[in-house]
Amino acid sequence: MELYKKSAAELSEMLRKKECSAFEIAESVFSRIEKVENKVNSYLTLCKEEALEKAKLVDKAFSDGKELHPLAGIPIGIKDNISTKGIKTTCASKMLENYVPPFNATVVEKINSADMVITGKLNMDEFAMGSSTENSYFKLTKNPHDLERVPGGSSGGSAAAVAAGEAIVSLGSDTGGSIRQPSAFCGVVGLKPTYGSVSRYGLVAFASSLDQIGPIGRTVKDVALLQSLICGRDKMDATSREIGAPDFAKELKSNLSGLKIGMPKEYFGDGIDSAVKQSVMNAIKEMEKAGATIKEINLPSTPYALNSYYILSSAEASSNLARFDGVKYGYRTPEYENLIDMYEKTRSEGFGDEVKRRIMLGTFVLSSGYYDAYYKKAKLLQKKISEEFSLAFENVDIIATPTVPSTAFKIGENIGDPIKMYTADICTVTINIAGLPAISVPCGFENNLPVGMQLIGNKFEEQTLLNAAFGYEQLVGGFKCLPEIV
């Protein structure tokens, strides 16, 4: 088997048994990239030369008998809104087309300290605003399972790269489902950690109170390995929490006996494709057969969550993106008459339609006369949603839902209808609003397209969540086969 088809855990073991080298792994991944990248379009920037040099250094460290991190030598792709020193970080926007950061994000520092091999920067929806990666200024990423369909978003490049074998693991960011939704569409595993468990320092902000960096891999164990590496308190991020030094992969358990799973009826009603619903319910039944207990629960504020999310996230986006004005860095319009004219033209030319739409919505809901009517009510609803989840977790260990209401839709099918596009996040936004962890795991196929099951955990209960996902994965054998790309 080609090395790019192996999981991170398998490759880690092979490196230690001297069955392969880090250089061979990197070469295998870049060979795969050369073969399929022109069809999938996962990457915005490739770092082949630097990656191969890093792989050689890892091999030397192994030959010198040094103790290295379990992920040492494993190729990883980075979403292009995570700051990488000396490597372009564009957020898939004309506004940052030529921006090269002078510093690394904290997660990138941790990746470097573990001697992982960075393959490059991955495509995304501009400034992480979108559900299909069709909002990228540079290129259109395609779903490896069907090149006529979207990979999801905004971390579409991150999920597609792992699904296509162009990276062993990747990092994405999740503001309202941007790790889980593309993971479901592409048939991989994606974890949105508890808010505050992973440092956001160096992540270009969309909505600061909702954004969270997280791992994507082909197996639950790979995701657990990467989450163990990137999580923890960071003095550069005041919202990060001290959670010790967990080893999620080492503590993985596949026993589902006694696990209490909540099924919220609000996530299995109208608007969810019947085939998706059936796949997820079948997966839950398999977990029940293995000893889990299923309990129907209510999360009554769920129907209003999408409204709350887009008000809150757009309000924060309006504030966060005010810094992109053509003064300090990034794109500046070449012709202008005065300072105000420069601001207007720079932002009009530098931002895409979806980003402008959300900035305008956010500015509106924060404006005088509308703050109480919209933003304040959205914040009250956020509190209500959090309380409902807290109440639910008094009786269950995890909550199971579909990740996305449908399988991957066709390129261009929804891009002209923002409301229809926003509903792709209907199952995922509540988790960001409440600051909870959630993972998407493949649970089947419908018309040869992957279906994802979302498992939701209580705050900082990632181990319980990962154990449940691992237990299900072991039960069904996982879905590790890479799609044929022709």
CATH of the domain at 241: 3.90.1300.10
Residue 271: C-alpha distances to residues 131, 277, 402, 421, 422 (Å): 17, 10, 11, 13, 13
Which residue range forms the structural domain that includes residue 86? 3-261+395-476
- Residue 192 resides in a domain: yes
- Residue 363 resides in a domain: no
Residue 1's pLDDT is what?
Answer: 66
Q: What angle do CA 425, 434, 472 make, to 5 degrees?
A: 70
Positions in the chain whose pLDDT score sits under 50:
none
**79 a catalytic residue:** yes
In angstroms, the CA 70 to CA 229 distance is 10
- Residue 103 resides in a domain: yes
**154 a catalytic residue:** yes
Burial 382-397 (b: 16+ CB within 10 A, else e): beebbebbeebbeebb
**178 a catalytic residue:** yes
Choose, from 83, 93, 154, 318, the residue flagged as catalytic: 154
185: left (phi over 0), alpha (psi -120 to 50) or beta: alpha
**Whole-angstrom distance between the N-terminal and C-terminal Cα of the chain?**
19
Residue 476: C-alpha distances to residues 30, 185, 222 (Å): 31, 19, 17
- Residue 372 resides in a domain: no
Choose, from 7, 12, 136, 178, the residue flagged as catalytic: 178
In angstroms, the CA 486 to CA 77 distance is 23
In angstroms, the CA 292 to CA 10 distance is 29
- Residue 326 resides in a domain: no
- Residue 337 resides in a domain: no
Q: Which residues contact 147 (CB under 8 A, 6 or more apart)?
A: 39, 40, 485
- Residue 366 resides in a domain: no
Separation of CA 456 from chain center: 15
Residue 39: C-alpha distances to residues 25, 131, 357, 435, 482 (Å): 22, 20, 30, 36, 15
Residue type, 72: A
Side by side, which strands form the sheet with 438-446?
Answer: 43-46, 117-122, 75-79, 169-174, 212-217, 189-192, 438-446, 449-457, 398-402, 260-264, 293-297
- Residue 358 resides in a domain: no
- Domain count within the chain: 1
Choose, from 79, 110, 121, 192, the residue flagged as catalytic: 79
pTM for the model stands at 0.97
